């Protein structure tokens, strides 16, 4: 079961595509967070979603929001993916222990071994204010994230 609106967002500590440690709690009191889980780097729908976010990044940064994208790929895979696609926001690796953060948010597909498409808008106090969870083939609409941020 995915984390619900009103829940305290589970803290996590993951490595980004540059090997730096990123903790959700680092943003508490400072920035809202759009936490986006996606299945795999280099796949069609995932690449489309992440490049759309890249192309619209000011819609998040202008709203005092940090975008964090999480997959179960290794940091090495994420580094190459970010460089190839020009992704300037952190890509976080939930590779090992495999899927722990995805499981904590209730978006890990045990049969496929990857996260499904879950997005959580988290306010500056660390509370989930909006969420959507889609199946593997179903892209999300980033405009919905912006509407959710505008309602904070």
pTM score, whole prediction:
0.93
87: in domain: yes
44 has a pLDDT exceeding 80: no
In a domain, 4, yes or no: no
Q: Is residue 61 part of a domain?
A: yes
Query: Does any domain span residue 5?
Result: no
**Residue numbers annotated as active site:** 46
pLDDT at residue number 137:
77
Q: How confident is the model at residue 136 (pLDDT cuts 50, 70, 90)?
A: confident
CA dihedral sign of residues 112, 136, 109, 142: positive
Q: How far apart are CA 65 and CA 86, in angstroms?
A: 19
> Has residue 118 been placed in a domain?
yes
Q: Identify the band that residue 99 occupies on the pLDDT scale cut at 50, 70 and 90.
A: very high
CATH number of the domain within which 128 lies: 3.40.30.10
Number of domains in the chain: 1
Q: What is the pLDDT of residue 115?
A: 95
Range of the domain at 28: 13-150
Mean pLDDT within 50-77: 95
pLDDT at 139: 79
SS3 state of residue 62: coil
User: pLDDT at position 35, please?
Assistant: 97
């Amino acid at each position: 079961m995915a984390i619900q609106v009103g829940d305290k967002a589970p803290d996590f500590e993951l490595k980004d595509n540059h090997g730096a440690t990123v903790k959700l709690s680092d943003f508490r009191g400072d920035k809202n967070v759009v936490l986006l889980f996606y299945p795999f780097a280099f796949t069609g729908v995932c690449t489309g979603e992440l490049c759309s976010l890249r192309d619209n990044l000011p819609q998040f940064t202008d709203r005092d929001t940090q975008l964090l994208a999480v997959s179960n790929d290794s940091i090495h895979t994420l580094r190459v993916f970010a460089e190839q696609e020009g992704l300037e926001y952190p890509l976080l690796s939930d590779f090992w222990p495999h899927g722990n953060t995805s499981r904590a948010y209730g978006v890990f597909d045990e049969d496929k071994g990857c996260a499904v498409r879950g997005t959580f808008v988290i306010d500056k106090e660390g509370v989930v204010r909006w969420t959507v969870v889609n199946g593997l083939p179903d892209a999300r609409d980033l405009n919905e994230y912006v509407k959710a941020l505008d309602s904070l």
